[in-house]
Structure 1
Amino acid sequence: MISETDTAVIGAGPYGLSVAAHLHHRRADFRVFGRPLDTWRTAMPRGMYLKSDGFASNLSAPEPGATLADYCLERGLPYHPTDEPVPLETFVDYGLDFQRRYVPDLDERTVTSVVRNGRGFRLALDDGEELRAKQVVVAAGITHFASMPQLVDGLPPELVSHSSTHRDLERFEGQQVTVIGAGASAVNLAVWLARAGARSRLVTRAPSVHFSSPPTGGRRGLLARLHKPGSGLGPGWRSRASCDAPDLFRLVPARWRPEIVRRHLGPSSAWHLKEPFESSVEVITSRSLQRVTAVDDGVRIVLASADGRPPLTLESDHVICATGYRADLQRLGFLDPALRSEVRALAKTPVLSRHFESSVPGLYFLGLSAAVSFGPMMRFMFGDSFAARRITQDLVRCAA
């Protein structure tokens, strides 16, 4: 027997759980698959803090009482919408509690295959079970899209790895570890490597490492708010527009959108990391990778300079590439190749309707995969409320 459902949601991160919570509230016929908050539980260093403010770190449910603030208040945990950094462990516990309350029927099995089946889809699970769905929502986590420099292709993971593969850093105690990058992941890793007893080094092409401004402890003045209005992505008119009017982004010429998404909010880290970073991490700026090779005792790194200085050669026991994530439809291996080829794409990401539906009827995409269609907000958790409300309305209508 092959089971059937109106909607299958693939992924149980903030976007997948938020959609599922709204579908559950609407008493829709749906199934949701995946380990809850798997990326947050397995691909981020233990002990780190979220880059996003507390008010921008919520999962979305239509009922009251579902925010991070509500969770912290109920448990007497420290919380402030902007001035108190959110510990990763607190956020994970909040997300798991959200799942138990609002998505009680989560199926933690993995979807291994999605193929077209007439007007719908056939899904295979990791234990061999199959089901049919009229609609499929792909809310895959960012770990599908980990981006590594081509220069490290072919090097073993024991020597070179992506930042998403590291949860516990104690194994690097006493080793020289070089982090490539200058964003929040890179700085977080560099700090926590030092705390784990590693000799931590960070290499970046940028001339400096940027940090957000510390909170002032009071309400910003009118002129400051007019100059740089607040938003779920941080201060600034571009961020505010991204959050308040994501549909307007769809009017931007298609050839500009991928670069706008890529450049919006360049590398920057939370203010509270500045002191431990500057006091415990060796920093090499204005250098880019020229060559990376395996040697008997680790990795040899040759760094080029944009200003004509001679190359710099370094030795390291391990290199971690904190080089971010780039959405790529072809990286979603659970989608049948024939199905992927039917999806109209722009910059390797699906072109989506205003309801997040791709050119394949009934196939929807959320999160990073939707950023080129709806703007930078889709790169962040703050976009889950808008996306969940918009897509749920269409899923329920189409399934009726």
Structure 2
Amino acid sequence: MSGCCGPVTAEIERFGQGTAGLPVVVIGAGPVGLAAAAHLAERGLDFLVLEAGEQAGASVAQWGHVRVFSPWKYDIDAAARRLLEAAGWTAPDPEWLPTGAELIRDYLAPLAALFGERVRTRARVSAISRLGYDRVRTAGREDASFLIRLESGEEIRARAVIDASGTWSTPNVLGASGLPAHGEAEAAPLIDHALPDVLGADRAAYDSGHTLVVGAGHSAATTIIALAQLPEAEITWAIRAGSAARAYGGGEADALPARGALGTRLHQLVTSGRVRLLTGFFTHAVERDGARVRVVGRDPSGAEQAVTADRIVAATGYRPDHAIAAELRLDLDPVLGSTRALAPLIDPNQHSCGTVPPHGVDELAHPEPGYYAIGVKSYGRAPTFLLATGYEQARSVVAALAGDWEAARDVRLELPETGVCSSSLAEAQERRVGLATGIGGGLLSAPLATVSASEGGGCCG
């Protein structure tokens, strides 16, 4: 068997010979996990989706009140669309910016329903290994089936594993050095992570107190803008950078008008004095003070700042947890926690989400044949992930599992050359539902050029 770019290695050639009749197990029933299921279904490959939560899109439900930046036409996987439309589904308005709740109701739930019992909820994976093999044993390893153990104790065999479990359950710590701030654990009852529903279910906790929002991304901006709608709320925003210019974004020049409007609104809140901005704030310690909390920032020179608040929102990003794959042979980049091949393509020191090149099965492969982490988990700690990229990862990996290496390696992002929607769209949507807000990198689609990985170009080249 040969791939499009040369012969497949003997190890990959042999993989799967002892696993005939077993399903591909997909971990996670979010947008990317269900996209993988759709591609598996189209190719006639047996599969089982294991979702730890109560429903498909359980993590999305946690930010169901938030509206994404990109319209429906960029939020639906191509294979999923084909399967849904064949079943009589009517696609939502392609120009509408959905909330997380709408994403579930109008897309993820109907898609999961198509697959019936092949999507199992309340099925949390605790470990993955090879049947009869620990990580050390080599001879015959690639012919052994995967063994997936659930928290319930149930064990499931699989011919391959696609891990799309995401990072939502493993947020970064509040401490600025990658370590928990002193006292962070003790203050946990007063710390919320990204995107609390401050205008809805969580309003009572934020309505009239002082909230400190830590972080410079879109999640922080979304929370600050929501807090500003509470007349009695006092808001302090703390960032490590010396300026908030990057957080304000491109304004009207942004190809995603809703994202540009987010930065513009945030800037207005700071310049008007509605939001107090602390720059150069490196969270060092969190001290409980009765029902309040004192947060101390200490910059690399040792200079300190402090602020006392009623609650903290730690919008500091997420990181992957590879513990369930501890008995598999993973080759992880020591900096990002992605595969080594993918790391230089997504390094946030070099790339924004709009300059990450297309990539697929080759960049996602580990020394453990048949195991792939896709979606936001594949990016490790890089915040440059896009939903559209995750869909293309799913397509490429499934094509490889089907033995279609030509398709697997023809990696493309099929989006417009420039712009996702016009400025009039954002204005019209704001009149209809209020300002369209957004969520951080791993949950967004964005405009990218149509390029092929084989062309060697960047996404905008």
The TM-score with structure 1 as length reference comes to 0.70
State the one-letter code of the partner of 1:156. Answer: A
Structure-1 residue corresponding to 2:203: 170
Question: Which residue of the partner structure matches residue 343 of structure 1?
Answer: 330
Aligned to 1:117: 131
| Structure 1 residue 24, shift from structure 2 partner | 1.0
Question: Which residue in 2 is equivalent to 1:107?
Answer: 120
* Greater share of residues in strand: 1
In structure 2, the CA distance between the partners of 1:33 and 1:65, relative to structure 1 (3 Å rule), is: closer
Give yes or no for contact 1:124–1:131 (8 Å, CA) kept in 2.
yes
Match of residue 358 from structure 2:
none
Q: Does 1:88 align with 2:110?
A: no
Provide the residue aligned with 2:261 in structure 1: 271
Distance across 2 between alignment mates of 1:320 and 1:24: 40
The answer to whether 1:18 aligns with 2:35 is: yes
Whether 1:32 and 2:44 are equivalent positions in the alignment is: no
Question: What is the one-letter code of the residue matched to 1:91?
Answer: L
Structure 1 segment 281-320 matched on structure 2, within 5 A: 281-304=275-298, 311-320=304-313
Higher RCO, 1 vs 2 (CA within 8 Å, ≥6 residues apart): 1
Match of 2:154 among 129, 132, 139: 129
Instruction: Please identify, of 33-42 and 286-295, the stretch whose mean Cα deviation from structure 2 is larger.
Output: 286-295
Q: 1:110 to 1:135 in 2, by over 3 A?
A: same
Q: In structure 1, what is the Cα distance between the partners aligned to 2:363 and 2:24?
A: 15
Change (3 A) 1:269 1:287: farther
Q: What is the Cα deviation at residue 324 of structure 1? A: 0.8
Instruction: Check the 8 A contact 1:21/1:61 in 2, yes or no.
Output: yes
Q: Post-superposition shift, 1:86?
A: 3.6
Distance change in 2, residues 1:272/1:290 (3 Å): closer
Matched, 1:211 2:248: yes
1: CA distance, partners of 2:238 / 2:129 = 43
Distance 2:46 2:295 in 1: 54
What amino acid does structure 2 have at the position aligned with 1:386? E
Q: Which runs of 4+ in 1 moved over 6 A?
A: 164-167
Q: Secondary structure at the match of 2:216?
A: coil
User: Shift of residue 65 of structure 1?
Assistant: 7.8
Deviations 1:132-151 (A, max 9, x none): 11111111112144111221
Which residue among 380, 390, 395 is the counterpart of 2:396?
Answer: 390
Instruction: Provide the secondary structure at the position in 2 that maps to 1:131.
Output: strand
Separation in 1, partners of 2:267, 2:252 = 18
Matched-pair contact (CA < 8 Å) for 2:129–2:146: yes
Is 2:358 the counterpart of 1:333? no
Give 2:364's aligned amino acid.
F
Residue 19 of structure 1: how far off its partner (Å): 0.5
* Counterpart contact for 2:24–2:47, Cα < 8 Å: yes
CA distance change for structure 1 residues 62 and 187 in 2, over 3 Å: closer, same or farther? closer
AA in 1 matched with 2:46: D
Contact 1:14–1:37 (Cα < 8 Å) also in 2: yes
Other-structure match for 1:366: 374
1:161 and 2:192 correspond: yes
Q: Secondary structure at the match of 1:115?
A: strand
- Separation of aligned partners in 2, 1:310 and 1:355: 43
**AA paired with 1:36?**
A
1:49 paired with 2:67, answer: yes
Q: Is the 8 A contact 1:163 1:185 kept in 2?
A: yes
2:66 aligned counterpart, secondary structure? coil
* 2:31/2:108 contact within 8 Å kept: no
Conserved 8 A contact 1:358-1:364: yes
Letter in 2 for 1:171: A
- Offset of residue 171 of structure 1: 3.2
User: For the aligned residues, what is the CA RMSD?
Assistant: 3.5
Shift of 1:397: 2.3
Instruction: Report the TM-score when normalising by structure 2.
Output: 0.62
Q: Which runs of 5+ in 1 are unaligned?
A: 217-227, 236-267
Instruction: Write the distance in 2 (CA, Å) between the matches of 1:117 and 1:97.
Output: 33
- d(CA) in 1 for partners of 2:125, 2:380: 25
Give the aligned residue type for 1:112.
S
The count of corresponding residues between Structure 1 and Structure 2 is: 329
Whole-Å Cα distance in 1 between the matches of residues 304 and 156 of structure 2?
Answer: 56
Q: Output the amino acid matched with 2:389.
A: G
Q: Percent identity?
A: 20
